[in-house]
Structure 1
């Protein structure tokens, strides 16, 4: 558990009370994966969960668990909602200030809490805290990397004329599971030919033909942590597809070389984007260069043009430039990278040379 990190957040805001919501946050701070909230009321920490999650929550050691339910079924069950439980255990008459991550709070939850407390948003503090990975977190990401690498290799070996996107996605998902993945970090993206120009394409019945570009964007999840990798395969190389591939690869490699502690995240985006713009394809690079990876596949820091984030050792990010010709083809190459003080550590899944 990382409950000690809550004290720093409270001290920064000069507050006594804090409520953590959202499964990713709850998992990060307590190891609990489910619905509910973690209440820190003047140093007394309580995991608040609905009745159906009680048995799972009681497995969390060294943390008091309180249960809430719409009606009073048992003496030790708090009648009402999460807000009712917060009010009962941390009355606003004691201290009206309550810190909460609004990134995970529903509008209804925020409105109810705001009517009783002086709710202050600590989303940025939570994001920055989670952005720096501990060794245990990095090891889980490496496990997810290995499962993803197995699936990416299988994907490359399964490219036969006539296979459908859905069929290949199924092979990939099965391989990740066999490789030890507990889940997929996101729905696997498999896109052939003209579909590869859609960055977030949903696999369909489109079948592989000679001359197609094939974008495979996949990631396994292990012990709560995600991985993310994209490779583009050319199933029959054309002059145009090879030219685009080479430009994207050069942009990615140049951006990766610049990854180190202390550099602005926006600079990484600028390096990749400048290379693509120099080759005349700037308007076809339609997304940011990358993002943080951890419990969620998209988290802080943002590797984008307007990002204010500074890279720090222990961050895990992606670098994934792409070029997309609508209705024709797309190329994206992505690696997950561990930020170090010096040379970055690239957590590769498959060689990128054609």
Structure 2
């Protein structure tokens, strides 16, 4: 049980888990709140407007805070007051990465703080069967939207229109939300990795980067395809083939026990030897789960080592300002052998 794992992580003293995704991981509750562990008891602190949603949470005592005494059973005016009363003089273990600076400073002035962010991210990085199933379903929904995008990209639609079609399709197919705002970037806009869709109409010769992901039962998916509209240049074809080679070589190396930084090195080496090294301006990948970007991190300076049932992306890219960009991304499950690639649709070319 995840709450038991948290209790072992806290070990001595008390613990407070901040961040919607962290609290959801340990409890299944997805609203605003703080999970507190002290003296063997788990308390879920929620604002009054979230009380009804929180009451069904198993394994915890739900307590409500509100700045005004609107009911006699509301014990706390704020999270800070609740922590002071529950934790007392005990040391407090917290995941520092999921709290803002102001909260950290206030807690540091009240308690002896122990950072357990590394332990929590390690727990979340290795997925259990239910998590893997939710990610797979999110991938199936994303796949339907991606195939639709491939078909409609040739209809002289704008980036905004195509992203709207994508979002509608994901929701219509069962997504509860989008893992992130859908990216549709065409022509020279595709050289911006995190481009915000505009009214630019897709036309012949374009490179169209489509980066999308559905969210299902609290879990994300992440997929990117670069669509090449007919009459594209030989230069664009070459860049696409380099990115695809880099991605396939990196994916082929993914297995339990390999350093995440080595996956980045493999992809980067392919692009560098092709003369495009300076145009690969982001890391090769990241973990995917409740958050679309979470541990492990597949970058040149990552200290993470891949483990079975981690879920990561592999997404090299080349971006030439004023011309075009190409990115190809798959989400995959790490195994003891070759990874399971959660394919959204076949590669182009």
Query: Which residue number corresponds to residue 254 of structure 2?
Result: 259
Cα offsets for 1:54-101 (capped at 9, x unmatched) = 111102123211111112222221232101111122212xx2x10011
Query: Which residue number corresponds to residue 20 of structure 1?
Result: 17
**Structure 1 gap ranges (5+):** none
Query: Which residue number corresponds to residue 146 of structure 2?
Result: 152
Alpha-carbon distance between aligned partners in 2 of 1:99 and 1:172, rounded to the nearest angstrom: 42
Q: Is 2:279–2:320's contact at 8 Å kept on the other side of the alignment? A: yes
Cα offsets for 1:103-135 (capped at 9, x unmatched) = 111222222222221011111111111000000
Alpha-carbon distance between aligned partners in 2 of 1:49 and 1:281, rounded to the nearest angstrom: 50
1:78 and 2:75 aligned: yes
Per the alignment, in what secondary structure is the counterpart of residue 275 of structure 2? coil
1:270 and 2:265 aligned: yes
Q: Is 2:205–2:229's contact at 8 Å kept on the other side of the alignment? A: yes
1:331 and 2:326 aligned: yes
Match 1:35 to one of 20, 32, 37: 32
Q: Is 2:47–2:66's contact at 8 Å kept on the other side of the alignment? A: yes
Per the normalisation by structure 1, the TM-score is: 0.96
Q: Is 1:78–1:84's contact at 8 Å kept on the other side of the alignment? A: no
Alpha-carbon distance between aligned partners in 2 of 1:34 and 1:328, rounded to the nearest angstrom: 43
Range that drifts further, 230-239 or 70-79: 70-79
Range that drifts further, 166-175 or 102-111: 102-111
Per the normalisation by structure 2, the TM-score is: 0.98
Alpha-carbon distance between aligned partners in 1 of 2:142 and 2:134, rounded to the nearest angstrom: 12
- The alpha-carbon deviation at position 177 of structure 1 amounts to 0.9
Match 2:335 to one of 317, 337, 340: 340
Query: Which residue number corresponds to residue 69 of structure 1?
Result: 66
CA-based RMSD of the aligned residues comes to 1.0
Q: Is 2:42–2:59's contact at 8 Å kept on the other side of the alignment? A: no
Match 1:173 to one of 167, 170, 184: 167
- The alpha-carbon deviation at position 161 of structure 1 amounts to 4.6
**Structure 2 gap ranges (5+):** none
Per the alignment, in what secondary structure is the counterpart of residue 68 of structure 2? coil
Cα offsets for 1:306-353 (capped at 9, x unmatched) = 000000001000000000110110000000010000010000101013
Query: Which residue number corresponds to residue 46 of structure 2?
Result: 49
Matches within 5 A, 1:64-143: 64-92=61-89, 95=90, 97-143=91-137
Cα offsets for 1:292-314 (capped at 9, x unmatched) = 00000000000000000000001
Q: Is 2:227–2:348's contact at 8 Å kept on the other side of the alignment? A: no
Query: Which residue number corresponds to residue 317 of structure 1?
Result: 312
Alpha-carbon distance between aligned partners in 1 of 2:110 and 2:202, rounded to the nearest angstrom: 59
1:10 and 2:10 aligned: yes
1:193 and 2:193 aligned: no
Alpha-carbon distance between aligned partners in 2 of 1:87 and 1:74, rounded to the nearest angstrom: 21
- The alpha-carbon deviation at position 154 of structure 1 amounts to 0.1
- The alpha-carbon deviation at position 8 of structure 1 amounts to 2.4
Alpha-carbon distance between aligned partners in 1 of 2:271 and 2:76, rounded to the nearest angstrom: 59
Q: Is 1:192–1:214's contact at 8 Å kept on the other side of the alignment? A: yes
The size of the alignment, in residue pairs, is 348
- The alpha-carbon deviation at position 102 of structure 1 amounts to 1.1
Alpha-carbon distance between aligned partners in 2 of 1:105 and 1:232, rounded to the nearest angstrom: 36
